[in-house]
Amino acid sequence: MQAQDILASLEKAVITGNKADSIKFAKESLDSGVKALDAIDKGLVKGMTIVGDKYAKHEYFLPQVLLAANAMYGGLDILLPHIPKEDAGKKVIGVIGVVEGDVHDIGKNIVKTMLTAAGLDMHDFGKDVPIENFVNSVKGDKASLIAMSTLMTPTMDGMKAVVDGLIENGDRMKVKIIIGGAPTSQPFADDIGADWHAINAQEAVKKVKGAM
Ligand code: B12
């Protein structure tokens, strides 16, 4: 099978919510020398973007989206361990999580893996993370990077609450803050006093590695 066909099969596996195929073609992509990151970006993520569009147009409903997410995770479980890792000597400690009220964690998990592969020591707080867990991470986890994700508009304010909490407890200047997820942007990051916004995991690595 050609690389192009494998990527198209991964995309289709997510769109149709077929976890078995997602796993099968993820393995096939590795066997055929397709880079894990390409299989994720040009296969699985592409499929999930189409699922998102269909959901927005009411062509898909939550059960289909759940099946698609499940299929996406099937492929990710195979591919993420194959992202090449850098050995970065003394490690920067980072914490990452999805802000309170939001359970969308697929993108966060990709960003976590990419930052880990880039040599950071990432502590994963998971999803629906209380504000104070992020705020206390500088003292508790010795974090010098906080990465926050949200895909929902109503939960964006949680990011500002984290920045405000860090200012209040005197830790804001000890930590860099990067945010991401579809409703966020660099102007929003500037507005709430975060350091960076990144559109995807690759850009997150570039911004963090460039500065830290
Ligand atoms: C899959 C999905 C679900 C799954 C989530 C499964 C899971 N484990 O994550 C399920 C079915 C559970 C779900 C539930 C809901 N969902 Co939903 N969901 C989606 C969908 C279709 C895809 C999201 C996704 O995984 N994309 C693929 C990943 C790889 O992309 P990504 O998350 O954007 O991540 C990339 C970048 O954003 C960035 N990034 C992400 N995080 C971070 C963090 C940092 C630090 C950085 C630097 C970068 C970064 O890098 C990532 C990788 O490159 C989106 C539609 C869409 N177009 O996004 C709706 C969407 C996000 N959902 C939506 C809604 C409304 C809901 C529900 C409220 C629905 C309901 N009525 O119950 C619930 C949420 C419940 C809750 N409290 O959280 C809305 C949000 C609208 C809004 N703006 O507020 C969307 C946009 C759909 C829509 N058009 O209405 N959903």
Neighbours of 50 (CB within 10 A): 16
Fold of 93-211: Rossmann fold (3.40.50)
Which residue lies with its CA nearest to atom 77 of ligand 1? 102
Does residue 208 line the site of ligand 1, with CB under 6 A?
no
Give the pLDDT confidence score for residue 113 in this predicted structure: 86
Which residues have a Cβ under 8 Å from the Cβ of 43 and sit 6 or more positions away?
Answer: 6, 7, 8, 9, 10, 11, 14, 25, 29, 75
Ligand 1 geometric centre to CA of 32 (Å): 31
pLDDT computed for residue 85 by the predictor = 78
How many angstroms is it from 108 CA to the middle of ligand 1? 10
Q: Identity (one letter) of the amino acid at 70? A: N
pLDDT at 83: 86
**pLDDT score of 156:** 98
* Digitized pLDDT (tens) for each residue of the chain, 212 residues in all: 899 999 999 999 999 999 999 999 999 999 999 999 899 989 999 998 899 899 889 999 989 998 999 999 999 999 989 988 776 556 789 999 999 999 999 999 989 988 987 888 899 999 999 999 999 999 999 999 999 999 999 999 999 999 999 999 999 999 999 999 999 999 999 999 999 999 999 899 999 988 87
The fold of 3-82 is 1.10.1240
Please work out whether the CB of residue 55 comes within 6 Å of at least one atom of ligand 1.
yes
In the chain, domain spans: 3-82, 93-211
Calculate ∠ Cα 109-179-110, nearest 5°: 15
- Cα of 152 vs centre of ligand 1, distance in Å, is 7
3-class state of residue 117 by DSSP: helix
